[in-house]
Amino acid sequence: MTTSPEFAITTKDMNLWYGTFQALFDINLRIKKGIITSMIGPSGCGKSTFLRSVDRINERLGYVRITGAVDVFNQNIYAPSVELSQLRKQVGMVFQRPNPLPISIRDNVLFGYRIHNDSGRKISKSDEEAVLEDALRQVLLWDQVKDRLDQKASVGLSLEEMQKLCIARLLPVKPSILLMDEPCSALDPKGTAAVEELIWELRGRYSILIVTHNMAQARRASEECIFMLMGKVVEHTSTEDMFVAPAHQETANYIEGRYG
């Protein structure tokens, strides 16, 4: 591959089953690199399932089966040679409920950085400090937490700060894709606005795929939009077109709030 690929995630005829229940049907998507793509659709339509199969975290369940192809930057991530640890270094995930690890703020941010240190030599203290500060500055959290880096991350932080921390800990391993599963649904309006602003800030540096229930959020905070229904992709266009002139009746119905 000489030219850098145009698409971050591409799927071809992807089907997914939980046991005998089929959750995704013939997903063919090409998600562009470097922009924010949002996924909308009613509960149970498979958007989170799709998201969770891009970093293969779905497999923890043990009864998930997938056919078809899922490529991340033209690499088939379901090929037998793929190492999960490497895939998850490249594809970071932000969960619905902020889930900081029960260790200090510092250790949270450096968690991925330390486990992906394959060089064999020990990371120097000053190196760690620089990485830590950079990550926390990128998520606009440095000023709030710089005096309590050794405090436990699960206490004393607001949900908004926790979610920012969860984004911050992805950055030191330099992922190219960030998956976000309703990252603001546990937050109050002020926190939502702050995290949305942050996501918008990260645009360009990362390819971001964000699942949301909040139509206004999809409209505000994404450049392309995917509408899913009953495990199928109905429409994938620019967000503007989706909300102004949807091509399908189902999309229009959903956007106008006739079901959801």
Partner 1 sequence: MTAHSAIQPTHVTVGDAKDKNWYIDKSFEILMFICGISAIIFVVGIFLFVFKEGLGFILGDMNFSEFFLSQKWRPTSLNKATYGILAMVAGTAAVTGLAMLICLPISIGAAIFIAEFAKGRTREILKIVIEFLAAIPSVVWGFIALSIMNPLIINVFDVPMGLGVLNSAIILALMAAPIVTSIAEDAFKAVPDTYREAAEALGATRWQTIYKVILPAAKNGLLSAGLLGVGRGFGETMAILMASGHSINIPTSVFDSFRALTATIAAELGETAVGSPHYQSLFAIGIFLFLITFIINMTADFIVRGVRKG
Residues that bind partner 1 (CB under 8 A): 55, 57, 60, 62, 84-89, 92-93, 95, 97, 99-103, 111-112, 115-116, 166, 169-170, 173
Supply the minimum distance, in Å, between the C-beta of residue 60 and partner 1.
Answer: 7
- Among residues 35 and 165, whose Cβ is nearest to partner 1? 165
Supply the minimum distance, in Å, between the C-beta of residue 214 and partner 1.
Answer: 22
- Among residues 116 and 203, whose Cβ is nearest to partner 1? 116
Supply the minimum distance, in Å, between the C-beta of residue 40 and partner 1.
Answer: 23
Beta bridge partners of 70: 11
Supply the minimum distance, in Å, between the C-beta of residue 119 and partner 1.
Answer: 16
- Among residues 171 and 184, whose Cβ is nearest to partner 1? 171
- Among residues 103 and 193, whose Cβ is nearest to partner 1? 103
